[in-house]
Amino acid sequence: MATKKLTTDSGAPYFEHQDSQTVGPRGPVLLQDFILQENLAHFVRERIPERIVHAKGSGAYGKFTVTHDISKYTKAKLFSKVGNECRMFARFSTVGGEKGSADTERDPRGFALKFYTEDGNWDLVGNNTPVFFIKDAKKFPDFIHTQKRIPKTNLKSATMKWDFWSFNPESLHQVLILMSDRGTPYGYRHMHGFGSHTFSMINNDHERVWVKFHFKSKQGIKNFTAEDAQKMSGENPDFAQEDLVNAIENNEFPKWTLFIQVMTEEQAQEFRWNPFDVTKVWFHDEFPLLEVGEMELNEIPDNFFAHVEQATFSPSNLISGISFSPDKMLQGRLFSYPDAHRYRVGVNSHLLEVNRCPFSVNNYKRDGAMANSSNYKDAPNYYPNSFDEIKADSDYKFLEYDLDSTRVAHFNRNENDDDHYTQPGLLYTKAMNQEDRAHLIKNIVDSMNDISGPKREEIINRQLCHFFRANIELGMKIAIGLQVNIDANMMTHTKSHE
């Protein structure tokens, strides 16, 4: 193998890499040792701001293959025929923990996917749960603050978590999932993934349907118990990362099957709940899972920082034939995610290898930090112009539609949509077995026992009311575990939600 010369960032070869230039063997270091300056200056800038959420993550490249025809629902070229393939990148993560935290902690898991398609990059940025804690993005900063650290002590706090949840019963569905064994998955390979939000698909006849995306793990669901997850956090805080790397390096490529649920606009008008509420699910017996394709991860990036750390995802990265919905959380993410990337990585983060569309990119965005002009060189930076050949294609025209209302106001997110208990109750009684329910109750009791301070009793009682309204047995067992005397008021209005 041919040797390569050691060079500076500008390509100039140099020799002295280990010893600084000094005045005599024990003298002071000279400012003119520009190699020292360059190496140290780069070193102290080797980290970019940590993600506010999803900081601890793992990633891999792979491929997506279409196995079933859904072209009647979408004009997306990716889904135009069975057998179509595209390269993709996946990043899995915890949500609340810092970059150095354990990846087995109790937390939802991010499930972010980037599909490199001929019509542009499509990002599906979801979680390992089909629902979320809140239904309006305006509440997101407050919610995340409760999952982080108290300003004074810099410690995490069960008190502020349960205080927030007790004031927001819309969180109950996700809280029950989080506090079950699904809150501590056995690595990333053994969990399902969900787009979580409602999206839309548009076909060649300009017909729209609402859809939800489900990725079912072909490895099967496997979770840690609370005790095993805590033990693993101490033994190997990078368990999930190591598990993913080892599987792919051993050619045991993890796979997921993509399914969609489809709801017509007419069905959306008649649906029992708001179909765009991310705290709710669509029942499978009403809206069955339709198989679409298979995702396989088969390549660990050769540089974690360049690919996994600098990867950026946004629900606004959509392709023709797939679009958004009135989901308030989704609408907020359409702005905040790209804005986060511009701050964290830079205005030209989309030019980095992991984020760059491998097909044609033509627009009039120029300059900014770390600009790479290799694609546009001296081409015009304005439109229209007389010199380039960029034309807007009417085939990609946005679907026009009418809104249900023209009234502008701050609408109460829960008005006529305040059933926060039926679906959590069904999750407890129908989706969980006896062991699942026992683990759920123990995990909740253990967590709520850490609530402290003068408002402890108030927070516990407020949250117990939500458990009782979801299911009386659930509320009773948690109350007994917390050694709380049951107030009859907690059990009012519960029978319809059992």
State both tokens at 335. 């702005």
343 and 481 fall within a common domain = no
403, part of any domain: no
142, part of any domain: yes
297, part of any domain: yes
Question: Does the global pTM surpass 0.75?
Answer: yes
Question: What are the backbone dihedrals phi and psi of residue 475, each rounded to the nearest 5 degrees, phi first?
Answer: -60, -40
Scan for tokens 């354990």, then name that residue.
102
Scan for tokens 């964290």, then name that residue.
344
Q: Burial, 297: exposed, middle or buried (Cβ in 10 Å; 0-12, 13-18, 19+)?
A: buried
The CB density around residue 498, as the number of other CB atoms within 10 Å, is 16
Report how far apart, in Å, the C-alpha atoms of 246 and of each of 93, 249, 283, 298, 433 are. 17, 5, 36, 11, 32
Q: Domain total for the chain?
A: 2
C-alpha–C-alpha distance, residues 123 and 129, integer Å: 17
State both tokens at 111. 């499930």
283, part of any domain: yes
Preceding omega of 49 cis (within 30 degrees of 0): no
State both tokens at 274. 């708001």
| Residue 86 near residue 258 (C-beta atoms within 8 A) | no
Domain boundary at 316, 335, 351, which? 351
Domain boundary at 311, 332, 351, which? 351
Scan for tokens 């329910």, then name that residue.
437
Domain span at residue 447? 421-488
Which DSSP string corresponds to 435-448? HHHHHHHHHHHHHH
- For residue 488, the model assigns a pLDDT of 64
214 and 115 fall within a common domain = yes
Residue of 375, 346, 344, 345 lying closest to 358 (CA atoms): 375
121, part of any domain: yes
State both tokens at 101. 């935290």
Stated as kind and residue range, the H or E segment containing 216 is: strand 208-217
Domain boundary at 351, 383, 403, which? 351
Residue of 437, 420, 421 lying closest to 429 (CA atoms): 437
115 and 206 fall within a common domain = yes
Angle between helices 226-235 and 434-448 (to 10 degrees): 60
308 and 447 fall within a common domain = no
Give the chain's residues under pLDDT 50: 493-498
Q: What is the DSSP letter of 138?
A: G
193 and 313 fall within a common domain = yes
Report how far apart, in Å, the C-alpha atoms of 154 and of each of 150, 193, 422 are. 5, 32, 37
190 and 272 fall within a common domain = yes
45, part of any domain: no
67 and 196 fall within a common domain = yes
Q: Burial, 83: exposed, middle or buried (Cβ in 10 Å; 0-12, 13-18, 19+)?
A: exposed
| Residue 202 near residue 211 (C-beta atoms within 8 A) | no
Strand, coil or helix: what is 335? helix
153, part of any domain: yes
Q: Which domain CATH number covers 326? A: 2.40.180.10
- For residue 491, the model assigns a pLDDT of 60
176 and 97 fall within a common domain = yes
Stated as kind and residue range, the H or E segment containing 37 is: helix 34-43
Catalytic residues: 54, 127
C-alpha–C-alpha distance, residues 214 and 259, integer Å: 5
C-alpha–C-alpha distance, residues 373 and 378, integer Å: 8
Render the burial of 413-451: b for 16+ CB within 10 Å, e for the rest.
Answer: bbeebebbbbbbbbbbeeebeeebbebbbbbbbebbeeb
- For residue 495, the model assigns a pLDDT of 43
Report how far apart, in Å, the C-alpha atoms of 211 and of each of 208, 273, 282, 288, 391 are. 10, 15, 10, 11, 31
440 and 344 fall within a common domain = no
Scan for tokens 């600009």, then name that residue.
371
Tens digits of per-residue pLDDT, 12-29?
Answer: 898 999 899 999 999 899
State both tokens at 337. 């995610």
The CB density around residue 33, as the number of other CB atoms within 10 Å, is 15
- Is 188 marked as binding a ligand? no
320 and 432 fall within a common domain = no
C-alpha–C-alpha distance, residues 239 and 207, integer Å: 45
